[in-house]
């Protein structure tokens, strides 16, 4: 997958990264994902990212759905996550669309508290 990140975009050291397919299902858990959510690839791959992470934007929007449907970035969105078996956490969400024929999204969650 090809992602176009902003020239000045640098994820925080504690940020967790996830990759989804064009339907929002997890393809992989990247750097920081286990530390933030307790999830590893074998529990995550193939499952809906929103449900698995318990991702709820403070403004009620579907962050991943917007990125996948419109092909636009969603940056600095305040949200809550509650991954399976993990305690709830506050995060800032940055989400980038894939710019290739496969579609998909790169999801970056940065702890905010």
In this predicted model, what pLDDT tens digit does every residue of 71-101 receive, in sequence order? 999 999 999 999 886 789 999 999 999 888 7
Separation of alpha carbons 64 and 7, rounded Å = 22
List residues bridging with 111 in a β-sheet. Answer: 91
Average pLDDT over residues 48-56: 96
pTM of the model: 0.89
**Domains parsed from the chain with CATH numbers:** 16-96 (3.30.450.20)
**Which of 97, 99, 62 has the alpha carbon at shortest distance from 77?**
62
Residues sharing a CB contact under 8 Å with residue 51, sequence separation 6 or more, in sequence order: none
The CB density around residue 106, as the number of other CB atoms within 10 Å, is: 20
């Amino acid at each position: 997958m090809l992602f176009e990140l902003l020239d000045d975009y640098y994820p925080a050291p504690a940020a967790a990264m996830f990759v989804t397919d064009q339907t929002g299902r997890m393809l992989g858990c990247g750097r920081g994902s286990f530390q933030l959510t307790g999830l590893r690839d074998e529990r995550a791959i193939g499952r809906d990212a929103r449900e698995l992470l318990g991702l709820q934007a403070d403004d009620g929007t579907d962050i991943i759905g917007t990125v996948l449907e419109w092909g636009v970035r969603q940056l600095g969105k305040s949200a809550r996550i509650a991954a399976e078996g993990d305690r709830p956490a506050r995060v800032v969400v940055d989400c980038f669309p894939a710019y290739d024929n496969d579609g998909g999204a790169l999801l970056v969650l940065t702890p905010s508290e």
